[in-house]
Chains A and B, each alone.
Chain A
Amino acid sequence: MSRPAAGRSTATSPTVKRQGLRRLLPHPLLFLALLVMWLLLNMSVSPGQILLGSLIAYGAAWTMTAFDMEEVRLKRPAAMIRLAGRVLVDIFRSNLAVGRIILFGLPKGRSSGFMTVSLDLASHHGLAVLAIVLTATPGTLWMNYDPARGDLLLHVLDLDDEQHWIDLIKQRYERLLMEIFE
């Protein structure tokens, strides 16, 4: 099923030469995620369900090769757990903060607005995760990313202190994302 690098393949998604495990199983992480999803959906870890789930996940993993995407290679599981923890805490906190703004309005003298953060993170998957994190957190919204400059345009509901948001993104998320994806 190896496809020549024609058609959809662009400069941003190079055709990866698959070696070892990845030759038999092109997207191992996707395979694993789909298998876990299957077992969760069926709420069973019986051998039959594992076999059926593996077959489906295997087919899906091979189908994904048609998209010729950059493969995800994750490093440092500890960093992933720390990031997940931080994101959960931040989602909780910003829910309360935005809830307060909706109920009582913005504190006097504050306003919402746009701001730009310059990112060092360049991995596509890392950026996708950052986009999900920022958008899933109430109060910040990913508006536009300029890949040539690495500039990210954000809309922030409570734009009191721009530096606070820059620190949040760069120190709290970006550093860990770079550890995981780069």
Chain B
Amino acid sequence: MTAAPELPVWTALLVSLLVVAGAAITLIGSAGLWRLKSFYARVHAPTLGATLGTGGVLVASMLCFSVLGGRWVLHEVLIAVFLTVTTPVTLMLLSRATLHRDRAETQDEAPPKAKD
């Protein structure tokens, strides 16, 4: 980052704090893919990176470039919006496919279909 020396200290501190926190949360979320035992539990894990993890990095980016540019830089909001709207599509696709398969194979873990 060539522009970093121009960043005031308070911004630099806040930005690095946000970036590290966001990255740490994303890392924990990714670790969940390995720590959690069942498929259904594992699907919850990547949401950490997609919400608070990205949130931290995006707010840091907005803050950093707003201060550097001397004007509001807000287009990171779009990344947050599109990520929030599209992540559920993938997660639901994966989890519903698993549910469908588990029901077909009558796995114990999956709940049976509601009876009429």
Measured CB to CB, the residues of A under 8 A from B are: 37, 40-41, 43, 91-92, 95, 98-99, 102-103, 105, 112, 114, 116, 131-132, 135-144, 146, 149, 151, 153, 155, 157
Interface string of B26-43 (1 = CB under 8 A from A): 001101100110101101
Give A91's nearest chain B residue, CB to CB.
B51
Once the chains bind, are B114 and A151 in contact (CB under 8 Å)?
Answer: yes
B101 close to A (CB within 8 Å): no
B111 close to A (CB within 8 Å): yes
CA distance A141 to B95 in the complex (A): 9
Q: Is the interface of B mostly helix, strand, loop or mixed?
A: helix
Give A96's nearest chain B residue, CB to CB.
B52
Once the chains bind, are B41 and A112 in contact (CB under 8 Å)?
Answer: yes
Once the chains bind, are A143 and B38 in contact (CB under 8 Å)?
Answer: no
Query: What is the size category of the interface that chain B forms with chain A?
Result: 35 or more
Once the chains bind, are A102 and B52 in contact (CB under 8 Å)?
Answer: no
Q: A102-B32, A112-B40, A155-B95 are in contact. Are A41 and B47 (CB under 8 A)?
A: no
Residues of the B chain whose Cβ atoms lie less than 8 Å from the Cβ of A137: 47, 51
CA distance A101 to B74 in the complex (A): 33
CA distance A21 to B18 in the complex (A): 44
